[in-house]
A and B are shown apart, each in its own frame.
Chain A
Amino acid sequence: MSWAKYKRLSSSKDLSIFRRGTTASDGGGGGGGNDPDAQAYIDALDAAGYTVSGAEETAINNHFLDLKGTGPNNSTYDWWTGIVRLLPFIGTNSAQQAIKAESPANSTTFAGGVTHNSTGVEGNGTNGYYVFFNPSELTDGNNWSAWVYKRKDIAEDRYDFSAQSVANGSRIRIRSRATSDRLEANAGNVNQLQSPNGSVTNGAGFVGITKHQAQGFDAYARGAQYNRPIDAYVDPAIDVYGLANNVPPFSPNQYSANEHAYALVTSGISTTTEEAALRATVEAFMTALSRNVP
Chain B
Amino acid sequence: MNLTELKASEYDKYVGLLTPIQKDQLVGRQYAPNSYFNPVLDGNQPPNWIISVEEMANCVNPHYEWVKALPIIPWVAPAPPEPIDSDATN
Contacts and interface: CB of A to CB of B under 8 A. Distances in A.
Nearest to A115: B54
Q: Contact residue range for chain A?
A: 35 or more
B32 A126 contact: no
A125 interface: yes
Interface residues of B, number: 29
Given A190-B87, A192-B88, A111 B12 contact: no
A37 interface: no
B90 A254 contact: no
Nearest to B31: A94
Contacts of A93: 32-33
Contacts of A95: 32-34
A128 B38 contact: yes
B52 A126 contact: yes
A194 B86 CA distance: 12
Contacts of A195: 90
Nearest to B12: A124
A247 B90 CA distance: 25
B80 A114 contact: no
A46 interface: no
Given A192-B87, A251-B40, A254-B80, A112 B33 contact: no
A226 B15 CA distance: 38
Contacts of A35: none
B52 to A, nearest CB: 3
A191 B88 contact: yes
A124 B90 contact: no
Given A112-B51, A113-B53, A126 B89 contact: no
22 contacts: A95-B34, A107-B34, A110-B36, A112-B51, A112-B52, A112-B55, A113-B54, A114-B35, A114-B54, A124-B11, A124-B12, A124-B52, A125-B12, A126-B12, A126-B77, A127-B38, A127-B39, A127-B40, A191-B87, A196-B90, A228-B89, A251-B40
